[in-house]
Amino acid sequence: MFERTKNLKLSIIKQIELEASKYPDTISLAQGIPSFETPECIKRRVVNALKKGATSRYSLSPGLPELRELIEIHLAKENIFYNWEKEIVVTTGTIEGISASILAITNPGDEIIIPEPTYTSYQEVIYLCGCRPVFVPLNEGGGWSFELDKFKEAITPKTKAIFYCNPNNPTGTIYTKEQLLGLAELAKKNNLFLISDEVYKDFTYQNENIFSLAELPELRDRVIRLYGFSKAYAMTGWRVGYVHSNENIIKEILKIHDCLVTCAPVISQYAAMGALEMGQDDIALFNKEYKKRRELICSRLDGLANIFSYIKPESSYYIFPKILKKVKSWDFALDLIKNIQVAAVPGFAFGENGENHLRMCFGRSQDDINRAFDRMDNYFKKSNL
């Protein structure tokens, strides 16, 4: 019984949230939820679609044509060219796209390389697909950068793909073009797929251009790129995203997508259309606010320099400070919840290399950040840590 699921774990982030829910006054910097409400323009688009009765039926399995066409138009602005008719599938959040992609390209027993620390749910999806995650540590001293030699060493005849998140969750690192091109060379030499989750690409704090391997036409038959509307447009509850790749790969992903969900919720597809048509001003606004919050959380961490050290994130709304005291991150995180009702995610959730760190989300309001740090200031003072 339960052979497939017996080794799967509920994500540590959700475990922490469950633990935090036992304390009514908890301030959570744990889950990556933006503090903002979904922009009005998006809701309006949905209301219009509802009134017209356009949301009550299935869409085509790959998604509404008008949404996919809009996605192609938006991708082209980023120098990424894919055919909406055959190469783009609208998914039920990014995680469904990830599951469908891995199921489509792997056989049971295959290995997938993931740099770590990285998003905690990747490994569970890989296990669910009957594959094995192979972790390659990122270099903290080099600003959580890739070390290509380590990827090279991790490749075996069973390796099917390299799966990374750019910008990275939880470190907020933007991988450089050179690093990514190095990875692409490795993939070409070893005939591997490259799965790129770019859900945080809209948040950059120095106006950096985030390079994507999907920009390179010669990599179309290797790169599977994923995007979700949750983070950029404050739409975590809508569960909508998309995956794009070369036609022959998408054809296979679509079969899995059809089995899993038939189509992404049509009401959310209309929300995604509203986001792409009218949500750009809101993204700019969120970006500006997250930049302020990044400065705030960094300055508050500076005040706890005896407890944490950190690398300033270049993107996303996470910071991944190192706990200076030798302590298990799980114990440290539980300690914070129990004693001062502040929730953060223990670093080991993102892989062994993340141990001795905490992930804090500055997607929460400035008030939440300040209150959480006020409590930590007092607590660490009292406990002489």
Interface with other proteins (CB under 8 A), residue from 140, 277, 374, 377: 277
Helix, strand, or coil here: 320?
A: coil
Q: How many CB atoms lie within 10 A of CB 150?
A: 15
**371 interacts with other proteins by CB under 8 A:** no
Strands (E), the chain: 27-28, 88-91, 111-116, 132-137, 159-165, 193-197, 223-228, 241-244, 308-309, 318-319, 322-323, 342-343, 345-346, 358-361
Interface with other proteins (CB under 8 A), residue from 52, 108, 157, 207: 52
Tell me how many degrees the CA angle 156-161-164 measures, rounded to the nearest 5.
120
Helix, strand, or coil here: 301?
A: helix
Of the candidates 216, 271, 268, the one whose C-alpha atom is nearest the C-alpha of residue 245 is 216
Residue 239 Cβ, how far from other proteins at the closest point, in Å?
23
- Distance, in Å, from the CA atom of 211 to the CA atom of 143, rounded to the nearest integer, reads 17
Residue 314 Cβ, how far from other proteins at the closest point, in Å?
29
What track of x and - describes contact with other proteins for positions 67 through 96 (by CB under 8 A)?
--x--xx-------xxxxxxx---------
**282 interacts with other proteins by CB under 8 A:** no
**36 interacts with other proteins by CB under 8 A:** no
Of the candidates 98, 121, 225, 206, the one whose C-alpha atom is nearest the C-alpha of residue 169 is 121
Residue 217 Cβ, how far from other proteins at the closest point, in Å?
5
What track of x and - describes contact with other proteins for positions 212 through 251 (by CB under 8 A)?
-----xx-x-------------------------------
Residue 220 Cβ, how far from other proteins at the closest point, in Å?
7
**181 interacts with other proteins by CB under 8 A:** no
Of the candidates 108, 159, 98, the one whose C-alpha atom is nearest the C-alpha of residue 129 is 108
Identify the burial level of 207 via C-beta atoms within 10 angstroms of its C-beta, where 0-12 means exposed, 13-18 middle and 19 or more buried: exposed
**382 interacts with other proteins by CB under 8 A:** no
Q: Could you give the strand order of the β-sheet that contains 159-165, starting from the edge strand earlier in sequence?
A: 88-91, 241-244, 223-228, 193-197, 159-165, 111-116, 132-137
Q: Which is nearer to other proteins, 182 or 279 (CB)?
A: 279
Q: Which is nearer to other proteins, 81 or 380 (CB)?
A: 81
Interface with other proteins (CB under 8 A), residue from 21, 40, 338, 339: 40
Helix, strand, or coil here: 27?
A: strand
Interface with other proteins (CB under 8 A), residue from 23, 33, 41, 181: 41
Q: Which is nearer to other proteins, 252 or 277 (CB)?
A: 277
Task: Say if residues 30 and 13 touch (Cβ distance below 8 Å).
Answer: yes
Interface with other proteins (CB under 8 A), residue from 8, 50, 65, 295: 65
Residue 97 Cβ, how far from other proteins at the closest point, in Å?
19
Interface with other proteins (CB under 8 A), residue from 53, 108, 141, 157: 53
Applying CB under 8 A, the residues found at the interface with other proteins are 40-41, 44, 52-54, 64-66, 69, 72-73, 81-87, 217-218, 220, 277-278
